[in-house]
Amino acid sequence: MLEVLWGRASTAPASASQLRVLLILEHHEGINLRTLADSLASTPPSTSRLCDRLQAAGFVERVTSPHDRREVRLRLSGRGRAFVADLRSRREQAVQAVLDRMPVAQRTALLRGLEAFCDAAATQIHDAPRASESGSRTA
């Protein structure tokens, strides 16, 4: 249902893949194409084409690295930042409208459940390298 709410809040001219790029660039300003491709689990040529479309739409800028003229850095343009901020605002409003319809006790229960989920996920992420290391020792 969260995906449905977020989809309804989106008037995005960007695909899901393009939106992922925008969100990654929002948090990793100035990364290079290879790092972005790795973050997307994609190839550099595919990621480059994705960025071409976002650049043509005015959402992404390519900037030559000050340290290596052969390296291109990616960042959100002003239009890209405004788009992401607007999308986030619309999504928050959509979720808030649902929360406002819930009784207080159920909102509190939801909060507790989400906190427990975050704690369990953090533990799993923290323990994952150890589990794979121990698995490789016993194999």
More confident residue, 96 or 135: 96
| Residue 85: burial class (beta carbons within 10 Å; 0-12, 13-18, 19+) | exposed
3-state helix, strand, coil in the chain (%, to 5): 70, 10, 20
Kindly report whether the global pTM for this prediction surpasses the value 0.85: no
- pLDDT tens for each residue of 41-78: 999 999 999 999 999 999 999 998 788 878 889 999 99
| CATH class entry, domain 2-101 | mainly alpha
pLDDT over 70, % of the chain: 87
